[in-house]
Amino acid sequence: MQNVSLVYDVVVIGAGPVGENVADRAHTTGLSTVIVEGELVGGECSYWACEPSKALLRPVVARADARRVPGLRQAVQGPLDVAAVLAHRDAMSGHWQDEDQVEWLKQEDVNLIRGHGRLDGPKQVTVQTHDGERIRLSARHAVALCTGTSAVLPDLQGLAEVRPWTSREATSAHEVPGRLAVVGGGVVAIEMATAWQALGSRVTLLVREDGLLHRMEPFAGEMVAQSLREAGVDVRFETKVTSVARAGGELRIELADGGELTSDEILFAIGRAPRTSDVGLETVGLTPGDWLTVDDTCQVTAVDGGWLYAVGDVNHRALLTHQGKYQARIAGAVIGARAKGEPLDDSWWGAHVATADSVAVPQVVFTDPEVASVGLTTREAERTRRRVDVVDYDIGQVAGAVQFAEDYRGKARVLIDTDRGTVAGATFVGPGVGELLHSATIAVVGEVPIDRLWHAVPAFPTISEVWLRLLETYRT
């Protein structure tokens, strides 16, 4: 085995979108940067999450939208072309090859080492490469852990022999299972239930809680559940799986209420865990397997010396790709500034990151109907004792919605901070509402006074006119 020692200004472990952005931003400040990756460059989002899942969902949602348009409805009554959908998914995932991403790193002059990277003391990283080489990396200024998360599986005896699906299998499967059991009530569970039901599976959704999307406004989960049932999904609430066994290729699923279910595949979408169990945390006084607590610049607070950063999902601030990339841009720039001894403007670096990761996190759930939300929910406002007025409006009453789809079903809710006179949160449910989200995010982040929002005139006839109707409802 050959041992090699290399020195860089910044060492990044994990070449997903977050790690790529940290490395790129640090390099643009003039620092030498290397990134370590044991799988595919581009990470979970590119190959097993955001991109393949949306490639599966787009034809499902587009067909649903088309079926609501008079004159087009009859032309789209047939089934989806499964082979074409899966081929498009494969193309969007780069056929699980990362040459394009590797080429981008080369163009940005960021070095890549393939292998498993582990911390080995302060500012030290050891890489075991795929060909047996051992490389020791020393960082002059910073090490950034961008290792993301992995799917959580329940502690059920014999589960490994069953070969359950996680989000990876759900987004990369090449055959449609005749019957699919989906365990979970969050975003991954309902998006995959939506996709595979439309592709031909008989889907049963097993939800331990009493509703879907429990972190969002209750009406969002209720409307999605109604739509799933109308599409043919068997949605069961307050249901717990107690055992799973495979016999003759068929899955037998036992439930806590004594019931039994048979299926061909089972997907567990019950949560995420940090990929920190084997990255050498113990060598710097941290506990393997833990989430990593960071400050507003993504610097790990429990490690002295200010050299260790944890960026993206691994710090548990906001488990979304766009938020991780946002953190990465900040962290990379901060690392560069600190390396040069440049002062940080706390009013920008600190407050801006905290705002984006706590009170203004935008999210879209790509189901039918779509769900889009940002900022506080009513439950969060109650929990934090924030005084808000709740304003609801039926999006189907907006002229633009009627143009979008016949019998449009949707709902909008905004929370108005009564002390500041600004929008504190917004939730939209309905076809096409994802395009409303950025305007809501700007309103929340910018703390735009309600009196100024009256002068942001929505074009007619678009769904954005719901903003005007919400303001009118608030004033009456």
Instruction: Find the helix packing angle between 346-354 and 321-339, rounded to 10°.
Output: 160
User: Over 70: is that where the pLDDT of 445 sits?
Assistant: yes
User: Over 70: is that where the pLDDT of 350 sits?
Assistant: no
Q: Which domains does the chain have, with CATH numbers?
A: 3-42+98-150+273-359 (3.50.50.60), 151-271 (3.50.50.60), 369-475 (3.30.390.30)
Residue 343, pLDDT score? 80
User: Under DSSP, is residue 199 helix (H, G, I), strand (E, B) or coil?
Assistant: coil
Reported confidence tier of residue 248, pLDDT bands at 50, 70, 90: confident
Helix (H) or strand (E) holding 361: none
CA distance 456 to 468: 9
CA distance 88 to 78: 19
Q: What would the pLDDT profile of 10-50 be if each residue is shown by its tens digit? A: 999 999 999 999 999 999 999 999 999 999 999 999 999 99
User: Over 90: is that where the pLDDT of 2 sits?
Assistant: no
| Tokens 């490994």 sit on residue | 160
User: Over 90: is that where the pLDDT of 345 sits?
Assistant: no
Contacts of 392 by beta carbon, 8 Å cutoff, 6+ apart: 411, 412, 413, 473
233: which 2 tokens? 């999904």
Q: What would the pLDDT profile of 104-140 be if each residue is shown by its tens digit? A: 999 999 999 999 999 999 999 999 998 889 999 999 9
Torsion of CA 173, 175, 180, 183, to 10 degrees: 0
CA distance 63 to 73: 9
Identify residue 251 by its one-letter amino acid code. Answer: L
Helix (H) or strand (E) holding 224: helix 218-231
Count of C-beta atoms within a 10 Å radius of residue 442:
14
What angle (nearest 5°) sits at the alpha carbon of residue 29, between those of residues 27 and 32?
A: 40
Residue 226, pLDDT score? 98
pTM summary value = 0.94
